[in-house]
A and B are shown apart, each in its own frame.
Chain A
Amino acid sequence: AQRVTQPEKLLSVFKGAPVELKCNYSYSGSPELFWYVQYSRQRLQLLLRHISRESIKGFTADLNKGETSFHLKKPFAQEEDSAMYYCALSGSGAGSYQLTFGKGTKLSVIP
């Protein structure tokens, strides 16, 4: 069975401080990992996916297969980063169209 764990329900940081949102997963094959974000009064949207190895809005995430982690990082938090963040996993092959979500972490950036 596949599982995604986000250990922090709420994370508060000061503006300009580094941010790290934790995500751990369990999956027996080669997973595809994603981060989705939901800003207040907006729909859930894809932030980044590990296969793209890109930086979006200053956020990066590295897949660590040894530690089964996909933590989301940003060196300097901005107020507009305040949102709900979800880590998600999809399998390979026939299971690649389904996503398993973590329970989410609410990021609050304090001015």
Chain B
Amino acid sequence: DGGITQSPKYLFRKEGQNVTLSCEQNLNHDAMYWYRQDPGQGLRLIYYSQIVNDFQKGDIAEGYSVSREKKESFPLTVTSAQKNPTAFYLCASSILLGRTYEQYFGPGTRLTVT
């Protein structure tokens, strides 16, 4: 596997601390996304970015922040304002194929906050 990398695979933090999750892609995709995956909840969109220096809130953006300074990178910061941060976080990027965007996913980061 290559293309989209997320680090670290597991992350542990104390409550009240901000933490930044890394996402890098070498697929030359314009759009990138952050999802949160919880058991029984499916994937929920946190933030997405269509181009460099631009991003939009998804369905559950509260308590999260992002930046998109480079095409290859889309880091996610989980702030202390996020009430329930323990989850599995997935990063994705997409390319237009015909009239639809096909999303490619990273391996994920499991964040545990205690």
Contact = CB atoms under 8 A, between A and B. Distances in A.
A90 interface: yes
A32 interface: yes
A90 B40 contact: no
Given A49-B100, A49-B102, A103-B41, A43 B31 contact: no
A44 B98 contact: no
B99 A45 contact: no
B48 A97 contact: yes
Interface string B76-114: 000000000000001000101011111111111000000
Nearest to B45: A98
Given A43-B1, A43-B106, A44-B90, A96 B100 contact: yes
Interface residues of B, number: 26
Contacts of B96: 97
B46 to A, nearest CB: 12
B100 A104 contact: no
Contacts of B106: 43
A43 B107 contact: yes
A65 interface: no
Interface string A71-111: 00000000000000010001010001111111110000000
A90 B44 CA distance: 14
Contacts of B107: 43
B54 to A, nearest CB: 12
Contacts of B20: none
B42 A46 contact: no
Contacts of B50: 97
A103 B42 contact: yes
Interface of B: 1, 31, 35, 40-45, 48, 50, 58, 90, 94, 96, 98-108
Given A86-B43, A96-B99, 16 more contacts: A32-B99, A32-B100, A43-B106, A44-B43, A44-B105, A45-B105, A46-B103, A49-B100, A51-B100, A90-B100, A92-B99, A97-B31, A98-B48, A99-B103, A104-B40, A104-B42
